[in-house]
Amino acid sequence: MAIISLREALRQAMTEEMERDPTVFLMGEEVGEYNGAYKVSKGMLQQFGPMRVVDSPISEAGFCGLGVGAAMVGMRPIIEMMTWNFAIQAFDQIINHAAKMLYMSGGQFPIPMVIRGPHGAAHMLSAQHSQCVDHMLVNVPGMIVISTVIPADAKGLMKSAIRNNNPVCFLESEMMYGKEGEVPEGEYLIPIGVGDIKRKGEHVTLVAWNKMVYLALEVAEELAQEGIEVEVLDPRTLQPLDENMIFESVRKTHRLVVLEEGWGISTIGNYIVDRTVTECFDDLDAPPARVHNHFVPMPYNETLEHEVLPNKERTIATIKKVLYR
Amino acid sequence: MPAPTNAQLVEFYKDMLLARRFEERCGQLYVQQKFSGFCHLYIGQEAVSTGSLNAIRKGQDYVISGYRDHVQPITLGMTPREVMAEMLGKATGCASGRGGSMHMFSSKLRYLGGHGIVGGQVPLAAGVGWKIKSMKEDLVILCFMGDAAINQGQFHEALNMAAIWDLPCIFIIENNLYGMGTAISRTCSLNVLADRAKGYNMRQAVVDGRNVLNTYAQMYEIVEETRKTSKPILVEMQTYRFRGHSMSDPQTYRSKEEVERERQQDCLQTLRDHMVAQKVATDDDFDKWEEEISEIVEDSVTFAEESPEPELNTIFDHVLAP
């Protein structure tokens, strides 16, 4: 299997789908002549031309809305947001238009559309460029939310997202675009809503997604030296969430920690804990715990940023707490 | 443009009369609490719908609008039954009771909805224009909006994109002078709203939307020009609503005299006078049509009232598409 980066995996998925279906097009800021702000769409303009790889004005609400309208009449737009921070400009289109259209039209107008871009903090970009909105997105009926940075998962899920008949919010990560992994060539589809066990373990279940998966695996590796076997679960799709994968793991390990980037209030982590306590109450040997950002806007300073984000130290301490060690 | 035939004049008159009586009936039903939510009536603006939508290829060209949306689908060919049933939230409504007054839809008629967020439908229209251009189709999209929508950022973003990419979009401001209760002169720095087009290097037009024949004639030219050139245009349709913004509007922001003055330019009366002068119709004809229309409207009410509620077990249908 070829070893390629996340950005190449995403590009492969988009390119294959655009070759397969003439209604798919990519639109966003700098996707064409600049080759993508993070080079995800590098070379695609040359291959597909300016009607299918489209440089937009800096008008997130406008071009996201353009995508919704095009999707209403049979196109399959991929709308690239330079980051999900900027997509907040387009939340009216995402939440009020894309997510509602099928339902409020009584089923007449599906919105087959992917809205994709990096999510969460990168490195020293300060408050307006370093936040998570995944918990807001999953709370809106009518959309699918995928969050993944593992190259193979990203390819398989991006292809499924483009073929899906609903609005799909696809969350990536600036820091992970260069990270490599084995990726199957050609037709490779991962079903939406199915999570993946990234590491088997019997002592504690650690749920993490997006770039937190890498942190989770690092922590698991370190704790293994101490004889603590961590089971790392990556839901990959956040809406709908693969709850059964989590329940099955907790029934085995009896302990749950959720590791998520973002502020810790009304989050996906809260939801996972709530569902697990409800469904697996008698299986739990300790109260579930969570690791997340401190509740402050992201500071610029590197030391402070490291402290605000979930880090290895806090994660290890939290895992030991649920193990009473 | 060929002048409208006598048969077309009759069709226009009946369409506007149906719109007027249908909306009057909606107002009554609302007061009688037969339905609830918001209810924005089109009374006074009928010439805009009839004149514009008869100038397009119905069922091929696309139409999208804001939430004052009961009448346009009927002009396009939706049955009053489907609209009234939607008002009452019934399973037989054009959005299966999921949309209501503000969200009429018909994929068959290419009516892409009534939309509830002021200005939010404008970028959608650019997207439809994008599809028409991408697929090299011989079509246009009409995008209706109220005057207040032009102060939204999304309006600006969408018109800019339509202009830079030459999208076949006809943006129509239905300027009834008030955004809810605030006079547009208090919220927009321009005297002529169509002048917004200059900022996008876009064509513009001002249309007398109180007169259906003017509206039809000008829109016909605009539609065909847009189809030919694939260049967008901003149209300011001058009109007036005789009733409040919605059913809960005390109308303290305008005088009774102003409303009365506007009623003197009622599009129905203007066309009727024209048809009588041109000997297209007699008083007997108008009486007959009044009866015909009354039956159609009453039939829609009966149909809606007798229609079933949506089944509870369908509540999760259409959250996500298969």
Supply the DSSP string of B85-132, one letter for each residue.
HHHTT-TTSTTTTSS-TT---BTTTTEEEE-SSTTTHHHHHHHHHHHH
Write down the pLDDT at residue B320: 98
Rounded-to-integer distance, Cα B144 and Cα B72, Å: 10
CB contact under 8 A, B117 and A97: yes
CB contact under 8 A, B123 and A112: no
CB contact under 8 A, B130 and A75: yes
Which tokens sit at A244? Answer: 């059964």
Rounded-to-integer distance, Cα A167 and Cα A101, Å: 10
- Whether A69 and chain B come into contact, CB under 8 Å, resolves to yes
pTM exceeding 0.80: yes
Burial class from Cβ neighbours inside 10 Å (0-12, 13-18, 19+) for residue A115 reads: buried
Question: How far from B199 is each of A34, A82, A233, CA to CA, in Å?
Answer: 27, 26, 52
Asked if pLDDT for residue A230 goes beyond 80, the answer is yes
CB contact under 8 A, A97 and B115: yes
B-interface mutation test, from A51, A63, A66, most B Cβ less than 10 A away: A66
- Whether A246 and chain B come into contact, CB under 8 Å, resolves to no
Closest CA to B119 of A29, A61, A58, A106: A61
Write down the pLDDT at residue B2: 75
* Minimal Cβ distance to B124: which of A56, A65, A106: A65
Rounded-to-integer distance, Cα B315 and Cα A103, Å: 10
- Whether A67 and chain B come into contact, CB under 8 Å, resolves to yes
Q: Measured between CA atoms, how close is B182 to chain A, in angstroms?
A: 23
A255-305 per-position pLDDT tens digit: 999 999 999 999 999 999 999 999 999 999 999 999 999 999 999 999 999
Whether B84 and B94 have beta carbons less than 8 Å apart is answered as: no
A104-162 per-position pLDDT tens digit: 999 999 999 999 999 999 999 999 999 999 999 999 999 999 999 999 999 999 999 99
Complex ipTM above 0.95?
Answer: yes
Percent of chain A with pLDDT over 70: 100
* Minimal Cβ distance to B123: which of A25, A61, A106: A61
Rounded-to-integer distance, Cα A314 and Cα A261, Å: 13
Please report residues of B whose CB lies closer than 8 A to that of A144: 320
A30, A129, A218, A294: which is the annotated catalytic residue?
Answer: A129
Whether B68 and B101 have beta carbons less than 8 Å apart is answered as: no
Percent of chain B with pLDDT over 90: 97
Rounded-to-integer distance, Cα B153 and Cα B225, Å: 27
Q: Is the bond preceding A240 in cis, omega lying within 30 degrees of 0?
A: yes
- Whether A166 and chain B come into contact, CB under 8 Å, resolves to yes
Write down the pLDDT at residue B1: 73
Which amino acid is residue A99, in one-letter code? Answer: A
- Whether A193 and chain B come into contact, CB under 8 Å, resolves to no
A60 is catalytic: yes
Q: Measured between CA atoms, how close is A145 to chain B, in angstroms?
A: 12
Closest CA to A94 of B124, B104, B315: B124
Q: Where are the beta strands (DSSP E) in chain B?
A: 62-65, 111-114, 141-146, 169-175, 178-179, 182-183, 203-208, 233-238
* Minimal Cβ distance to B113: which of A63, A105, A165: A105
